[in-house]
Amino acid sequence: MSPNPLPIRAVVFDLDGTLLDTAGDFIVVLNQLRREHQLPELTDEAIRRTVSNGARALIELGFNVTESDPEFAPLRSRLLELYMQHIAVYTQPFSGIIELLHDIKRCGLGWGIATNKPELYTQALLDKLALKPAPEVVICPDNITHRKPDPESLLFAARHFECEPSQIIYLGDHIRDIDCGRRAGAITIGCGYGYIDEGDDPKNWQADYLVNHSLELAPLIARLIQARQTAEQPA
């Protein structure tokens, strides 16, 4: 007879497109960079779909160049310079997220962030937003050896929260997030409201659960917490 599943101890979020709607600032800065190069603006939707893939993907989208092109590095540097100047102007938590964070804390659980966004920009963004309750751990590529989809971020989180990875719920809006969570052994929630690549289908990510709107997260997470608590009770 298999043992009962362990209780949930923490909820960990990907950042861009999962916890925070950061696309508005990236739309502004990428189009500003294109204007600097006498190029017309791209549509908001085209940029929004690419945000979760980071600055490299935005430069590829905006200028049709790859990392091997000599103009790539200066374009990326300028984009990041503009982004730091414009960080958190339009960025805000998705609907219901702040309430969800309070729910998590009321349940006695921890919460954190595991992102592929570099620490410099992650911390600047979080400093500006001053989320309450604040995350207990923020894991960036600077803090680990292998970024997502490698499971190292979630294994790091498990050590921080002093629990098994199976006691963590991990949420993300890209298959790399779900792969990271699954490989670590966490419970995964695919966030279909995030920045989904054109042609991608969140149903193919093999997440344990899938939501289409951020307001679906609180009731789902509450059910998962309750189910684990119930399973923990002796017969």
Of 16, 21, 103, 173, catalytic: 16
Q: Are 185 and 175 in contact (CB under 8 A)?
A: no
CA distance 129 to 124: 9
Residue 16 among the catalytic residues:
yes
Catalytic annotation, pick one of 14, 21, 173, 179: 14
State the Cα–Cα distance between residues 167 and 88, nearest whole angstrom: 32
For helices 72-85 and 119-129, angle between their N-to-C axes, nearest 10 degrees? 20
Assess whether 21 carries a catalytic annotation.
Answer: no
Tokens of residue 73, six digits: 């590095």
Angle (CA) 132 133 136, round 5°: 130
Q: Is residue 11 within 8 Å of 168, Cβ to Cβ?
A: yes
Using a 10 angstrom Cβ sphere, with 0-12 exposed, 13-18 middle and 19 or more buried, the burial of residue 93 is middle
Catalytic residues: 14, 16
